[in-house]
Amino acid sequence: MSNPLLEIQELHVQIEGKEILKGISLTLEKGQVHAVMGPNGSGKSTLSNALLGHPKYQITQGRILYKGEDLAALKTDARARAGIFLAFQYPTAIPGVSVANFLRTALKARFGEGFQPKEFRKEFKAAMAAIGIDESFATRYVNDGFSGGEKKRHEILQMALLRPELAILDETDSGLDIDALRTVAEGINRLRGPGLGILLITHYQRILNYVQPDLVHVLIDGRIVRSGGKELAHELEAKGYAPYESLREPTKEIITQ
């Protein structure tokens, strides 16, 4: 029996001496989409940063296993080369670096000798067309002067070309109007498949109207207090997080879909 794509075991994480994650456990298989939902300050972004090995986030207890391998010894760049991708909530601008050059460099780092420069332009243009990005985008500087929707579409473009096995989408819906949200969601759904596992971290239910999750996890005060099917997201939309604020011990209600 093969190992799960991602297995988080009783993960405790602190930053600057303050504990943020207080014992998270989660198992994600290839081909699945798991949504992690929680209010501001619940630890959602801490989880994504810990998974990619941000040096400010210290794991004090527990393990993160990727395809059965403990990630503790791997730095961020090694995790990325291994097929882990993070779409940032607030992508950083890189003035002076074009989108095309940025992605060419990223693909070379990801695939090494397997990177085919001659094929890059063809794949790049095809990916832009599939996501609905104009070709002029290629010569613009990375996230410099981009709208919120353009920044998020650029994240999806990176994801399409880098072909990760595990994609962590940290509030990809943040700051998007309804048209941009639909475009980004369509991009995610186009990339979804048996070779990719997606951890979709969000505050709101609205993106889940377009990207149907296999499981939803409610994160409160650094703990997953409930897990269930997509109906749980609708319950959160209707009732908010208040009913879960007092919960401290995890419970599971897995809903058959």
- 3-state SS, residue 7: strand
Query: CA–CA separation, 85 vs 68, rounded Å?
Result: 17
Distances (CA, A) of 251 to 202, 212, 224: 20, 22, 8
Closest Cα to residue 131, out of 173, 160, 92, 172?
160
Confidence (pLDDT) at 255: 41
Confidence (pLDDT) at 108: 94
The H-or-E segment that residue 198 falls in is: strand 197-202
Query: CA–CA separation, 76 vs 212, rounded Å?
Result: 29
pTM (predicted TM-score) = 0.91
Query: CA–CA separation, 75 vs 112, rounded Å?
Result: 17
Confidence (pLDDT) at 249: 57
Q: What is the pLDDT along the chain (257 residues), one digit of tens a residue?
A: 678 999 999 999 999 999 999 999 999 999 999 999 999 899 999 999 999 999 999 999 999 999 999 999 899 999 999 999 999 888 899 999 999 999 999 999 999 988 988 899 999 999 999 888 889 999 999 999 999 889 989 999 999 999 999 999 998 888 888 888 888 899 999 999 999 999 999 988 889 999 999 999 999 999 999 999 999 998 998 888 988 887 655 554 444 33
Confidence (pLDDT) at 37: 95
Other Cβ atoms less than 10 A from the Cβ of 10: the count is: 12
Identify the structural domains of the chain with CATH numbers, from first to last: 6-92+164-252 (3.40.50.300)
